[in-house]
């Protein structure tokens, strides 16, 4: 087996030599970004806008000479159909096609499958919006979290809930993904650190639709919780919220960016007062608002969530890293990304420096009032409040 | 405490009713073609989109839009039969099953690319999601409607199956399709009717499903069709009353487990409910109301 | 077209070179057979000779080649349901009544193509089979074997057919019930229904019929009047020597 690996490496080395040998100087001046993302399947609602946002950044950068003003960017977008195995195959194809940076789907399993391939090849990578900080350990030192991490969202929400004077929390989790399973627990941990208490934790399954049993139990809890925190998203969240309100439970409901969707605000009275975090709110006059306008102009339809903005930001991070590294070499690029500090992007500032490849980026706290999303606050949580990622 | 039990029983009845409608839709087609139509869930999705299009885009009154959406569901089921299933009729069961999967994935992609990969919100009138309080018992409007729709659909279907020639032929076809043709009843009529009724049932359950979740997304049909499949197998493949019984049983099982299990066991409740169902199937391999004679 | 004249002279049912094949297996090969108007014709042969396949193929329920004619009209391309509407029907082997339907529902389905006369026909049949009247509302699956056979025949007759194919109507029944069945077959003659009968009870079948065909290995081996076949030495050896 070892011998085989050795041979394999020798062959790869030979191939590299052969490639360098051919007059391919043009390659040095372009940046190929391989998108192994889900344009179909259950991750499409998240990956698609992220890629759309990235495309806007690529277009803008290319109009100004490319990444760092000199590397023409080529986007290679391939559909992995929300499938884990397909992701690792596509990542390999993209690497074979010369990708310098890889973008992975929004969920842990496909991100890990594709990430391990890119890690082996020594190519820096991001997931569109996988928010599990543990992926940096599961994949390796070439993997960077792009979106707001679960620990950050959980802690920010808990801090805000305590500020609002809420003290008894009920957590609703689903062990089906780390996002829905752990984020509420991070919330609970920080909530208790800050003096609140968790009265009970319930479980749901994806797509169960019917929450009558859970809701009946919540309604009969003593003491009644004054905040209910869940990372459930569509279709579970709207169904849960409706049935919860129908059961006469008036506790505040806190959610995470999974409910950053027009459906949530379109629910009518039941969604009044729901608080959730996301990567950014387009407050008028900000750079993010300008990006929302650019998106609407480019795609001829309004942007309805912040995924596109973080896709846009990702490209800015890459462009800056190329400038620092002076080229597309994998290891140099990795180090340059890891040292990103206080870079101005559409959603605010982003830093990877000393954060173990989980970015410090601003989080927006939003509340639904009168059927619309209103901005409450934007903050960067202090790192000493962050819980350990599970 | 007894109020809590009564409340959970009511919850179980309402959920079971939706599963029963779903199961019945699958069983209807199974009884004439001997095949589970896995594209059934996409008919629900389609109902949802039709509802949005008619009520939000065209501005029809909600009720009118709902009934029109039912008609759309029934018609598209019949259309799918004509376009996709008739050409492969008489082919092996595997071919037919693959065809249902193919239709399901084609519709997914069509929904994602031509409508939206994101969920679209459905404006459900407030009264539909309101609740009333009766001596400690909380009765949701939607729960009542679920139960009402289930009861009306079951009665209507029973009358149809008992008293109309086509209905009789469908029950006969469930048992012996070729001899049903020997009664001079065109195979196509029986099959198209079965699909249309199955589509109508998908429309009814699709509406109830969408009303509860508040949005339509391209993949929303997957979970319900899975539940319906479990209900149908539990009740006995090919038995229409079995599908109804299986649906209600599944609803009860799910709600009661969720209500009664201690919280540390909660994550395992799907595993527990499936284990109970498998145990039932081990004891009764043909399902609760499955006919042993079906193995002729 | 001199259709009306033809109808009186042409046989009620004619098979020309009928072949039944299931994939590579040929159950029947170029079968030529006629049933005259008002005639009772028996098709006999050992198990697996292809008799049932021939009947199923005739009504379009088995893959068939060759031609089928009814009263001189070529109906080879007609579907099962069209054939039934034209007056051809089959009481299949093993009865295959709808066990989950009541006796009444079975009869109603049988009369689906002749709804106007269904009430009348049903009365006549219930007179002929008083046991079915007694079990009218009962689930057909709970009937005894003999009652199920009567129901199968009655169900076939509900469509007011002019030609009936009967497949093994006496199989597995008690002698007294077999008597009733054969009485019914004879009665069909008075109702001017042409009959093609497949039977294991060769002697009784030939006694009630006008002519007969002998089939084995998927082919017609011999034909003649019932009397000729009853006294044929070869035939006796073939069945009573080998099979009995």
Evaluate if residue A23 carries a pLDDT over 70: no
Residues of C with CB under 8 A from a CB of B: 59, 61, 79-81, 84-85, 89-90, 92, 96, 98-101, 105, 108-110, 112-113, 115, 141, 155-156, 159
Half-sphere exposure of B295 (CA within 13 A, CB side): 5
Confidence (pLDDT) at C5: 42
Q: Which residues contact residue A322 at a Cβ distance below 8 angstroms, ignoring those fewer than 6 apart?
A: A31, A67, A68, A71, A328, A333, A336
Question: Which segment of A230-244, B99-113, B133-147, C94-108 scores lowest on mean pLDDT?
Answer: B133-147
Give the whole-angstrom CA distance, residue A231 versus residue A45.
16
Q: In chain B, which residues have their Cβ closer than 8 Å to the Cβ of A207?
A: 220, 222-224
* Nearest to A76, CA basis, from A62, A49, A58: A58
Cβ-based contacts of B214 with chain A (< 8 Å): 235, 238-239, 242, 263, 266-267
Q: How confident is the model at residue C172 (pLDDT cuts 50, 70, 90)?
A: confident
The model's pLDDT over A94-127, given as tens digits with 9 standing for 90+, comes to: 999 999 999 999 989 999 999 999 999 999 999 9
- Is the complex ipTM higher than 0.85? yes
CA A146 – CA A313 distance, rounded (Å) = 9
Q: How far apart are CA C1 and CA A181, in angstroms?
A: 81
pLDDT at A26: 42
With a CB cutoff of 8 Å and minimum separation 6, the contacts of A44 are A38, A82, B112, B117
Least confident of A44-48, B138-142, C170-174, C238-242: C238-242
**Hey, where are the domains in chain A?**
2-147+285-358, 150-278+364-385
What domains can be seen in chain C, in order of their start residue?
3-87+162-241 (3.40.50.300), 96-160 (no CATH)
Q: Is B271 within 8 Å of B218 (Cβ atoms)?
A: no
Q: What is the average per-residue pLDDT within C219-226? A: 92
Mutation target for B interface from A129, A203, A222, A302: give the one with most B CBs within 10 A: A203
Q: Which residues of B touch C115 (CB under 8 A)?
A: 165
Identify the CA nearest to A33 among candidates A95, A106, A119. Answer: A95
Mean pLDDT confidence for A157-179: 94
pLDDT at B200: 96
Cis-peptide into A223, omega within 30 deg: yes
Tell me the residues of B at the C interface, defined by beta carbons under 8 Å apart. 165, 168-169, 171-172, 174-176, 178-187, 291, 293
What is the C-alpha to C-alpha distance for residues A273 and A262, in angstroms, rounded to an integer? 15
User: What pLDDT shows up at residue B258?
Assistant: 85
Consecutive 10-residue runs of chain B (296 residues): their mean pLDDT? 79 90 92 88 95 92 94 95 87 88 92 85 81 77 88 91 92 88 90 94 93 85 90 88 92 88 80 90 87 44
Say if the Cβ atoms of A202 and B7 lie within 8 Å.
no
Q: What CATH topology corresponds to A150-278+364-385?
A: Rossmann fold (3.40.50)
Bigger pLDDT: A239 vs B117: A239
B30 compared with C243, residue with greater pLDDT = B30
Task: Show Cβ contacts of residue A115 under 8 Å, excluding neighbours closer than 6 positions.
Answer: A91, A102, A104, A125, A127, A135, A138, A139, A140, A142, A143
Predicted confidence at residue A28, as pLDDT, reads 61
pLDDT value at residue B295: 34
End-to-end distance of chain A based on CA atoms, in angstroms? 34
pLDDT digits (tens, 9 = 90+) for C45-72: 888 889 999 999 999 999 999 999 999 9
CA distance B269 to chain A (A): 9
Q: Which CATH superfamily is domain A2-147+285-358 in?
A: Response regulator (3.40.50.2300)
The structural domains of chain B, ordered by start, are: 2-294 (1.10.3470)
Bridge-based pairing state of the strands C211-216 and A72-79: unpaired
pLDDT of residue B247: 94
d(CA C84, CA C82): 5
pTM for the model stands at 0.77
State mean pLDDT over C125-145. 92
pLDDT at B261: 83
pLDDT bucket at A11, cuts 50 / 70 / 90: very low
Interface contact A40-B126, CB threshold 8 A: no
Return the percentage of chain A with pLDDT > 70, whole number: 93
What's the maximum distance between 2 C-alpha atoms anywhere in chain B?
A: 60
């Amino acid at each position: 087996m070892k011998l085989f690996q050795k041979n394999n490496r020798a062959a790869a080395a030979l191939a590299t030599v052969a490639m360098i040998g051919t007059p391919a100087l043009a390659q040095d001046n372009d940046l190929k970004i391989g998108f192994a993302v889900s344009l179909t399947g259950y991750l499409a609602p998240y990956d698609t806008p992220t890629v759309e946002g990235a495309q806007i950044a690529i277009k803008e950068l290319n109009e100004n000479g490319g990444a760092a003003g000199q590397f023409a960017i080529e986007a290679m977008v391939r559909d992995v159909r929300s499938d884990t195995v397909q992701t690792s195959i596509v990542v390999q194809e993209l690497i074979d096609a010369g990708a310098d940076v890889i973008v992975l789907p929004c969920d842990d399993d496909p991100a890990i499958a594709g990430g391990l391939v890119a890690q082996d090849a020594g190519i820096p990578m991001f997931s569109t919006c996988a928010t599990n900080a543990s992926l940096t350990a599961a994949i390796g030192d070439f993997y960077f979290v792009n979106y707001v991490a679960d620990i950050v969202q959980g802690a920010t929400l808990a801090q805000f809930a305590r500020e609002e004077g809420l003290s008894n929390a009920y957590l609703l989790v689903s062990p089906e993904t780390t996002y829905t399973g752990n984020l509420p627990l991070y919330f609970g941990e920080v909530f208790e650190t800050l003096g609140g208490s968790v009265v009970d934790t319930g479980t749901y399954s994806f797509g169960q639709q019917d929450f009558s049993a859970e809701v009946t139990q919540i309604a009969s809890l003593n003491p009644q919780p004054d905040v209910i925190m869940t990372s459930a998203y569509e279709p579970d969240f709207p169904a849960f919220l409706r049935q919860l309100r129908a059961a006469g439970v008036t506790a505040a409901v806190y959610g995470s960016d999974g409910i950053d969707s027009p459906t949530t605000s379109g629910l009518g009275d039941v969604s009044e007062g729901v608080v959730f975090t996301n990567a950014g709110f387009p407050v008028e006059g900000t750079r993010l608002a300008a990006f929302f306008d650019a998106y609407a102009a480019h795609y001829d339809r309004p942007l309805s969530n912040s995924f596109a903005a973080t896709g846009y930001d990702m490209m800015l991070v890459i462009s800056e890293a190329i400038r620092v590294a002076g080229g597309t070499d994998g290891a140099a690029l990795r180090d340059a990304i890891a040292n990103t500090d206080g870079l101005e992007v559409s959603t605010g500032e982003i830093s990877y420096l000393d954060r173990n490849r989980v970015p410090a980026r601003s989080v927006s706290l939003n509340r639904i009032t009168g059927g619309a999303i209103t901005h409450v606050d934007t903050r960067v949580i202090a790192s000493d409040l962050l819980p350990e990622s599970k | 405490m007894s109020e809590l039990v009564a409340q959970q029983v009511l919850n179980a009845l309402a959920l079971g009713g939706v599963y029963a409608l779903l199961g019945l839709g699958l069983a209807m087609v199974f009884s004439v073609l001997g095949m589970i139509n896995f594209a059934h869930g996409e008919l629900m999705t389609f109902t949802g989109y039709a509802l949005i299009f008619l009520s939000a885009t065209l501005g029809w009154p909600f009720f009118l839009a709902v009934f029109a959406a039912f008609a759309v569901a029934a018609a598209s089921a019949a259309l799918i039969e004509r376009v996709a299933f008739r050409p492969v009729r008489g082919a092996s069961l595997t071919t037919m099953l693959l065809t249902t999967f193919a239709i399901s994935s084609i519709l997914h992609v069509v929904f994602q690319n031509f409508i939206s990969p994101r969920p679209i919100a459905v404006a459900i009138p407030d009264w539909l999601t309101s609740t009333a309080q009766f001596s400690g018992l909380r009765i949701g409007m939607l729960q009542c409607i679920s139960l009402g729709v289930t009861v009306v659909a079951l009665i209507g279907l029973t009358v149809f199956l008992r008293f109309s020639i086509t209905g009789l032929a469908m029950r006969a076809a469930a048992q012996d399709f070729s001899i049903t043709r020997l009664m001079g009843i065109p195979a196509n009529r029986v099959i198209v009717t079965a699909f249309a009724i199955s589509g109508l049932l998908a429309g009814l359950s699709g509406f109830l499903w969408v009303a509860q979740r508040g949005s339509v997304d391209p993949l929303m049909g997957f979970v319900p069709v899975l539940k319906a499949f479990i209900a149908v197998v539990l009740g006995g493949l090919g038995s229409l009353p079995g599908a109804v019984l299986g649906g209600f049983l599944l609803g009860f099982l799910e709600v009661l487990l969720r209500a009664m299990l201690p919280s540390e066991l909660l994550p395992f409740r799907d595993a527990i409910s499936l284990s109970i169902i498998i145990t039932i199937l081990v004891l009764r391999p043909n399902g609760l109301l499955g006919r042993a004679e079906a193995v002729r | 077209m001199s259709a009306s004249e033809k109808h009186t002279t042409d046989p009620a049912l004619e098979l020309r070179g009928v072949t039944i094949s299931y994939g590579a297996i040929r159950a029947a090969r170029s079968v030529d057979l006629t049933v005259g108007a008002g005639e009772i014709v028996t098709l006999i042969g050992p198990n697996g000779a292809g008799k049932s396949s021939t009947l199923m193929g005739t009504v379009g329920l088995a893959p068939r080649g060759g031609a089928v004619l009814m009263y001189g009209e070529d109906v080879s391309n007609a579907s099962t349901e069209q054939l039934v509407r034209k007056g051809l029907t089959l009481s299949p082997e093993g009865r295959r009544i709808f066990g989950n339907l009541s006796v009444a529902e079975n009869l109603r389905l049988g009369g689906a193509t002749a709804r106007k006369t269904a009430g009348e026909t049903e009365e006549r049949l219930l007179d002929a089979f008083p046991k079915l009247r007694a079990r009218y509302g009962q689930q057909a699956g709970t009937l005894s074997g003999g009652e199920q056979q009567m129901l199968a025949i009655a169900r076939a007759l509900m469509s007011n057919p002019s030609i009936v194919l009967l497949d093994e109507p006496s199989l597995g029944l008690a002698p007294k019930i077999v008597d009733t069945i054969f009485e019914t077959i004879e009665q069909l003659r008075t109702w001017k229904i042409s009959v093609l009968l497949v039977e294991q009870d060769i002697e009784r079948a030939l006694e009630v019929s006008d002519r007969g065909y002998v089939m084995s290995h998927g082919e017609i081996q011999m034909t003649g009047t019932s009397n000729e076949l009853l006294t044929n030495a070869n035939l006796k050896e073939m069945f009573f020597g080998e099979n009995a």
